[in-house]
Amino acid sequence: MQPYTLVTNICDFNDNNKGNKPLYLKKLLIMYELFDNEGKKIEHHDLQDKSHWCKDGEKIEEAFVRLYGEQLNLAINPAKGYDPFAPDLINTLTGRLGDLKHQATPFFKARKLFGIDPTYAVVFNEKDKLRYEEKYPEITIYYWVNWLAVKYRTEWSEITVRPLQGVWKSEFRDFNKYLSTRLLHYYQQRTDDTKGNAKGSFVCDIRNEAFEKLI
């Protein structure tokens, strides 16, 4: 069964494309603010700041293994040393490969667009689905969730989520069946992307039985 598709008009304006949209629409799309659990405003570049989890020079997957690797029997996949596109993780007991999905920002509009409480909404790239189907059908997906932003505010509305942090896993064979029931959210600003960014993502409810909470 083919997934349902939803295209939304959420654009990330910059100097190269700011002339592509009328001014009123540009303002409509970018005028929002994010806040943390203490009510402090979060700048957008803060969401890309790995220092919340990573020591100097660490990658996200390295920080994850440092924090949880022993408990979950996970290590960095040795193939990452020569292939940057290789899966992130390997189970030290079974040898099974795993990939890490780290998410720090909720999909605040998940309830409006997909009927999912945004506290529990996570995304999964369509390009990863296709890659796993072709190359890694037995892979395990690990979600490391830690919401930095818990409030989304515009001039017209405000959306608040509950703080959530933890680690979940899903075996891709089972997860892929779940994805077949999910809406596919296309990012309109990426439809002509040539840099390899995902053009669409599935929006999922991490409370679903397809996920197992580990931590």
pLDDT at 49: 54
In 10 A of CB 51, how many CB atoms? Answer: 9
- Which domain does 71 fall in, by range? 4-213
The angle at the Cα of 127, spanning 137 to 204, to the nearest 5 degrees, equals 80
What pairing do the DSSP bridges indicate for beta strands 140-146 and 97-103?
parallel
| Residues 172, 132 contacting (CB under 8 angstroms) | yes
pLDDT at 187: 57
pLDDT at 38: 83
Mean pLDDT for each 10-residue chunk of the chain (215 residues)? Answer: 41 41 48 84 64 63 96 97 94 98 93 95 95 97 95 90 97 96 70 50 96 98
Could you give the number of structural domains in the chain? 1
User: CA separation (Å) from 64 to 30, 107, 179, 182, 215?
Assistant: 32, 22, 25, 28, 12
Token output for 207: 């409370």
Q: What is the pTM of this model?
A: 0.79
pLDDT at 9: 38
